[in-house]
Amino acid sequence: MMRLPRFRYHAPATLGEAAAILQGEGSQAMVVAGGTDLYPNMKRRHQTPKTLIGLRKIDALRGVKGSPARGLWIGPATILTDLEESALVREHYPGLYEAIHSISTPILRNMGTIGGNICLDTRCNYYNQNYEWRRAINFCMKCDGDTCWVAPGSDVCLAVSSSDTAPILCAFGARIQLVSKKGTRTIEAKDLYRRDGIDYLTKRSDEILAGITLPPAARWRSSYRKLRRREAFDFPVLGVAACVRFDGEIVAEARLWLGAVSMAPVEAAEAQAALVGRRLTEETIEEAARLAYPLAKPVDNTDFGLRWRKEMTRHFVREALLEVGPPGSPSGRGN
């Protein structure tokens, strides 16, 4: 059996209590929501927190509130299946719905939460292995060792940001509320991430994700396309998130983010700029795809060959934008 290491367990009923325990225990403590990322990691001895703080009993961290006109508030401990079933999410933020629906399997989505997905540990073939396997290669820089086996000269870890919701939340301009004993701060989703496979979040270890807010959905259309080997179970090898706001037929604002191609989600700024002020046609979409795909610089630490993954970025950007479609197209892409 692969057993969990020992830990002390707390299940506080309020956010205040959870923050107080986290503050008191320092970096030895971690929070756990669904555990679908943390428990496998603990079984492989990637993380061995002395104290775990379960969030399941904190009602104030769950649910979806708001409206497409005012924007949504999503509790980070909301189970992914419950979000999939929310008509607010499905009808008005279809890109977010698609990202959630593509995560792992229906059974894991009955357990995992969106907050856990946002904070998902970065992934690498040399890291996501059990303790004995890792010991056999003398470990790596991200955990227990000091060499990076993907790029031995590198002084940063290149483990991949593999969250499906991260790129679409960045594209929507979502805001993340972080709560600690010291107070509350709210940051843009894109500022939560850092291009460092080890220290991949700007969140401090005493901070708890307490809320995710999405701006009003009015006139935004969105989509998410994901590349992976199997249609279930597998993490993204590439994720493309697209959000477009139209003014009549003309693109007023475009946001295009790539997931799983780097240590953090990547914004395709040039491609975004190329769409603004124009119609979404085969030609403008092709141009955006051509500008976006050089940003994908995959390294050899996930699935599939490098050149093919890079080439697929172009196709997936094109598909994501075709799916968004011009306003009024019948695809149910939001508003």
Partner 1 sequence: MPQNVKRRRGRGRDSAAASHSSRSKVHLRLRVNGEEQEVACAPHSTLLEVLREDLRLTGTKHGCELGECGTCTVLLDGRPQLSCLLLTLECEGRPIVTVEGLAEGPRPHPLQIAFAELGAAQCGYCTPGILCAARSLLDARPSPTRQEIREALSGNLCRCTGYLKIFEAVELAARRMKDPAAQPSEETLHGRRL
Ligand X SMILES: Cc1cc2nc3c(=O)[nH]c(=O)nc-3n(C[C@H](O)[C@H](O)[C@H](O)COP(=O)(O)OP(=O)(O)OC[C@H]3O[C@@H](n4cnc5c(N)ncnc54)[C@H](O)[C@@H]3O)c2cc1C
Binding site for ligand X (CB under 6 A): 30-38, 40, 55, 76-77, 80, 103-104, 108, 112-113, 115-117, 119-120, 162-164, 208-209, 233-235
Shortest Å distance, C-beta 230 to partner 1:
9
Nearest CB to partner 1, comparing residues 57 and 219: 57
Task: Report the partner that residue 54 touches, choosing among partner 1, ligand SF4, ligand X, none (CB closer than 5 to 8 A by kind).
Answer: partner 1
Residue 131 touching ligand SF4 (CB under 6 A): no
As given in the structure block, the two tokens for residue 278 are 């124009």
Give the other-Cβ count within 10 Å of 28's Cβ: 12
CA dihedral defined by 106, 166, 205, 49, rounded to 10 degrees? Answer: 30
Nearest CB to partner 1, comparing residues 51 and 202: 51
Contacts 24+ apart (CB under 8 A), 245-253: 245/219, 245/220, 245/221, 246/219, 246/221, 246/326, 246/327, 247/219, 248/327, 249/279, 249/326, 249/327, 250/277, 250/278, 250/279, 251/275, 251/276, 251/277, 251/278, 251/279, 251/280, 251/284, 252/219, 252/276
Shortest Å distance, C-beta 276 to ligand X:
29
Residue 149 touching partner 1 (CB under 8 A): no
Residues 38-77 touching partner 1, rule: CB under 8 A, are: 39-40, 43-44, 50, 54, 56-57, 59-60, 62-65
Task: Report the partner that residue 175 touches, choosing among ligand X, ligand SF4, partner 1, none (CB closer than 5 to 8 A by kind).
Answer: none
Residue 298 touching ligand SF4 (CB under 6 A): no
Give the other-Cβ count within 10 Å of 278's Cβ: 15
Determine phi and psi for 19, rounding to 5 degrees: -65, -35
Let me know if 330 is exposed, middle or buried by CB neighbors in 10 A (0-12, 13-18, 19+).
Answer: exposed
Binding site for ligand SF4 (CB under 6 A): 124, 126-127, 140-142, 148-150, 157-159, 197, 301
Binding site for partner 1 (CB under 8 A): 1-14, 17, 35-36, 39-40, 43-44, 50, 54, 56-57, 59-60, 62-65, 78, 81-82, 85-86, 104-108, 110-111, 231-233
